[in-house]
A = this chain, B = another copy of it.
Amino acid sequence: MDVTDSVPPDQIAALQHRLAEFAAARDWEQFHTPKNLAAALTVEAGELLEIFQWLTPELSLTVMEDAESAERVEDEIADVLAYLLQLCTVLGVDPLAALAAKIDRNEERFPVR
């Protein structure tokens, strides 16, 4: 089965669908409790931070200039997003709606002076 044949038009939903198919095909759903996914998300965020941990602020702006470093950054960003989306799937949370609502609240909370 080609998953791309049947994906919904929404890009995020399509990725969540692919991630769910991927886990189901490997019988990994049993590991994907919200708790485990939140732990894995934190672990991957740490791996992303590791790339930057000894860099000056200025050097941290140049990580995409080196091909190997750029690939590592994209890889860790993908991992963070993967676990975030899988967590949203398991919990029934719409991540884009949650973020839009949060920005609305922050616009109230931090008024522009």
Q: Which residues of A contact B (CB under 8 A)?
A: 10-12, 15, 18-19, 22, 25-26, 31, 33-36, 38-43, 45-57, 60-61, 63-64, 73-75, 77-82, 84-85, 87-88, 90-93, 95-96, 98-103, 106-107, 110, 112
* A78 to B106 Cα, complex, angstroms: 11
* A73 to B103 Cα, complex, angstroms: 15
Out of B40, B43, B81, B99, which one reaches A95, CB within 8 Å?
A: B81
Q: Write out the residue numbers on chain B whose beta carbons fall within 8 Å of the beta carbon of A103.
A: 15, 18-19, 22, 82
Whose C-beta in chain B lies nearest to the C-beta of A50?
B43
- Closest chain B CB from A23 CB (angstroms): 10
Q: Write out the residue numbers on chain B whose beta carbons fall within 8 Å of the beta carbon of A91.
A: 63-64, 73
* A105 to B32 Cα, complex, angstroms: 20
Whose C-beta in chain B lies nearest to the C-beta of A51?
B38
